[in-house]
Amino acid sequence: MSNIVLTQTWFFPNVDWSTLWNATQETLYMTAISLALTFIFGIILGLLLFLTDKGNLWENKVIQAVVAAYVNIFRSIPFIILIVLLIPVTAFIVGSFLGPSAALPALVIGASPFYARMVEIGLREIDKGVIEAAKSMGATNTQIIFKVLLPESLPALISGLTVTAIALVSYTAMAGVIGAGGLGHLAYSHGFQRGRDDVTLMATLVVLVIVFILQFAGDRLTNKIDKR
Amino acid sequence: MISLSRLVKTYQTRDGQVTAVDHIDLKINEGEIFGIIGYSGAGKSTLIRLLNMLEEPTSGDVTIAGKNMNQLSKKKLREARQEIGMIFQHFNLLWSRTVKDNISFPLEIKGVPKEERDQRVNELIRLVGLEGRGGSYPSQLSGGQKQRVGIARALANNPKVLLCDEATSALDPKTTDSILELLVDINKKLGLTIVLITHEMHVIRKICHRVAVMEQGKIVEQGDVLEVFKRPKEEMTKEFVKQVTEPEETEEALQHLLQENNIGHVLQLTFVGGDAEKPLITNIIRRFEVTVNILQGKISQTQNGPYGSLFISLEGDAVEVQKVLDYIRDQQVEVEVIHGE
């Protein structure tokens, strides 16, 4: 007990700082891994949405309809319900449905369609003339994707990723409530359910700091690479 | 060099079928600057895109440098496109790349090694007069500079043909002239065949050797630029020729003059090629009993020589005036009596 007493302070009497640090690390872990995976899947889905659309490189009504349906369905399901629905899938992939890693499948499946739509919007903003110019030079479709589409939409991809990252932080909090750990779990189980408002408040403050840092870094990066 | 035969392109729109290019036959010679002029909607944009298969023809054939473009495999078509440069009205540069990297882009596509690319890029930057701007981004350049990057990029793979899609339409008159001079320059230096589309007769006058006039998907008139200027047959062509030969105020000024009672005969003289340098007016005054008054005039340079029109009024008795008209016609100068007959 003495350890706990030592780490307690007068202005947040019930906050255990090492527990808070662990929770923060769990939140950061969930956010970072799921963000990286969301980035990859979101770009793949976004590219598919864009390229299979009418008048584009891989125009294909069937693939377009399937991808659009997938994206729309998973974007519409409230996240807290999605986690519950995905428990069997999670148990199969991760081997457990508790702990930070168990939250990852739901986070990625929930956030990728969201990011995919932003990728699609970013790609649509590219001037068609630039794609035409690349075609006129004899570029292959792969070259057009990697040398034109992705670099030209990069600022939109990054600013979309910032928004997605922030959404993911809030998703991790929801996941925390049903057993994934992290700051959401801390605020809900340790704070709210035990009537310790200072713990809830502290967890909220840490979430806010994470969000502010993400937003700031995202904006800086977007501005730096945007040469328009 | 380029030959189109019975080329057709139709689009299906909500309002029915639109024929953008309607059975066009055309031959463009190696090393010439060929202009296609028409108002927007005439189908010239579609036509130029049919040359490098950015648009696929509905029927007909496109042959460039001996290759039948519409029968190539996808791979062969990509290779053929590397030998056809194209520049655009809105430049279509990659904003995420510097000037150097933009020019290097077609070389990357072709798979040219890095060292060779850098060397070629430097040559091209010198060729288009962009020394010192290689590290800039397109957003830091003026319109004229952007088009220079576009031209350098189009020339990177040493193409045989350069297609210009309204390349100067987004530029101011002074910049337009400098870009046109650059095009003439590379046409002479590299022996490049240039095909350009435009709605400005000024562009045709300045740099083209031959011209085709397009209206509703068809070519209504074509020939050497001077010849077309001298004897435009179609209404459409006359309208375009007017753009460059008559100062805008001419019509207004003449209308005003013609209302005066004592004005005699008003003639429009058209000089082509060497004629423009003859002392025609001096000879008229010396030889005939008439008074000559110069009302309005303009001389323009084309690639094949000067072209000009002059409005004069003549006073004198009918016999003398007829003699003057005969004399002018003897001198191979086109003359039209627009008042007083």
pLDDT in tens, B78-97: 999 999 999 999 999 999 99
Residue B274 pLDDT: 67
CB atoms under 10 Å from CB of B62, counted, come to 21
Residue A8 pLDDT: 54
Cα B25–Cα B28–Cα B30 angle in degrees, nearest 5? 155
Cα distance from A209 to chain B (closest Cα, Å)?
Answer: 32
Residue B282 pLDDT greater than 60, yes or no: yes
In a domain, A175, yes or no: yes
Q: How confident is the model at residue B168 (pLDDT cuts 50, 70, 90)?
A: very high
Cα distance from A49 to chain B (closest Cα, Å)?
Answer: 22
| Contacting residues of B for A133, CB less than 8 Å apart | 86, 88, 92-93
CB contact under 8 A, A227 and B78: no
Q: Report chain B's mean pLDDT, rounded to a whole number.
A: 89
Residue B98 pLDDT greater than 70, yes or no: yes
CA gap B81, A137 in Å, rounded: 6
Residue B130 pLDDT greater than 70, yes or no: yes
Contacts of B161 (CB under 8 A, 6+ apart): B1, B2, B51, B64, B65, B83, B84, B85, B192, B193, B194, B195
Residue B329 pLDDT: 86
Domain range for A120 is 18-225
Q: Cα-flanking dihedrals φ and ψ of residue A97, to 5°?
A: -115, 20
Residue A10 pLDDT: 62
CB contact under 8 A, A133 and B54: no
Q: Contact, A185 vs A192, CB < 8 A?
A: no
pLDDT in tens, B218-273: 999 999 988 888 778 888 888 888 777 766 667 677 777 777 766 778 888 888 77
Domains recognised in chain B with CATH numbers = 2-241 (3.40.50.300), 246-339 (3.30.70.260)
Tally C-beta pairs within 8 A across A and B: 67
Cα distance from B77 to chain A (closest Cα, Å)?
Answer: 7
In a domain, A8, yes or no: no
Q: How confident is the model at residue B332 (pLDDT cuts 50, 70, 90)?
A: confident
| Number of separate domains in chain A | 1
Q: How confident is the model at residue B277 (pLDDT cuts 50, 70, 90)?
A: low
Q: How confident is the model at residue B333 (pLDDT cuts 50, 70, 90)?
A: confident
| Contacting residues of A for B160, CB less than 8 Å apart | none
DSSP string of chain A?
Answer: -HHHHHH--SSSTT--HHHHHHHHHHHHHHHHHHHHHHHHHHHHHHHHHHHTSTTSTT--HHHHHHHHHHHHHHHHS-HHHHHHHTHHHHHHHHS-SSSHHHHHHHHHHHHHHHHHHHHHHHHHTS-HHHHHHHHHTT--HHHIIIIIIHHHHHHHHHHHHHHHHHHHHHHHHHHIIIII-HHHHIIIIIIITTT-HHHHHHHHHHHHHHHHHHHHHHHHHHHHH---
Residue A69 pLDDT: 96
CATH number for the domain harbouring residue A134: 1.10.3720.10
CA gap B230, B241 in Å, rounded: 9
In a domain, A10, yes or no: no
- Identify which of B93, B96, B139 has the shortest CB distance to residue A151: B96
B309/B138: higher pLDDT: B138
SS3 for B190? helix
Average pLDDT of span B6-31: 92
In a domain, A73, yes or no: yes
Of B223, B193, B194, the residue nearest B210 (C-alpha): B223
Cα distance from A137 to chain B (closest Cα, Å)?
Answer: 5
Of B267, B186, B202, B209, the residue nearest B240 (C-alpha): B202
| Contacting residues of A for B108, CB less than 8 Å apart | 143, 147
Residue B340 pLDDT: 73
Looking at chain B, which residue has its C-alpha nearest residue A134?
B106
In a domain, A2, yes or no: no
Within an 8 Å CB–CB cutoff, is residue B327 touching chain A?
A: no
Q: Contact, A100 vs A30, CB < 8 A?
A: yes
CB contact under 8 A, A133 and B92: yes
CB contact under 8 A, A137 and B93: no
Within an 8 Å CB–CB cutoff, is residue B139 touching chain A?
A: yes
| Contacting residues of A for B50, CB less than 8 Å apart | none
CB contact under 8 A, A143 and B54: no
Alpha-carbon separation of residue A92 from A26, A31, A176, A191 (angstroms): 21, 21, 19, 31
In tens digits, chain A (228 residues) has pLDDT values of 444 444 555 677 788 888 999 999 999 999 999 999 999 999 999 999 999 998 899 999 999 999 999 999 999 999 989 988 988 888 888 888 788 888 899 999 999 999 999 999 999 999 999 999 999 999 999 999 999 999 999 999 999 999 999 999 999 999 988 888 899 999 988 888 898 888 999 999 999 999 999 999 999 999 999 988
Of A191, A219, A218, A217, the residue nearest A204 (C-alpha): A191
Cα distance from A133 to chain B (closest Cα, Å)?
Answer: 6
In a domain, A13, yes or no: no
| Contacting residues of B for A132, CB less than 8 Å apart | 54, 88, 92
Q: Contact, B290 vs B314, CB < 8 A?
A: yes
In a domain, A12, yes or no: no
Of A34, A16, A9, the residue nearest A186 (C-alpha): A16
Contacts of B51 (CB under 8 A, 6+ apart): B2, B4, B62, B64, B69, B84, B161, B163, B195
Contacts of B173 (CB under 8 A, 6+ apart): none
Residue B148 pLDDT: 96
CA gap A40, A112 in Å, rounded: 8
pLDDT in tens, B287-308: 888 888 888 887 777 887 777 7
ipTM: 0.85
CA gap A189, A43 in Å, rounded: 36
CA gap A161, B40 in Å, rounded: 42
Residue B262 pLDDT: 67
pLDDT in tens, A38-75: 999 999 999 999 999 988 999 999 999 999 999 999 99
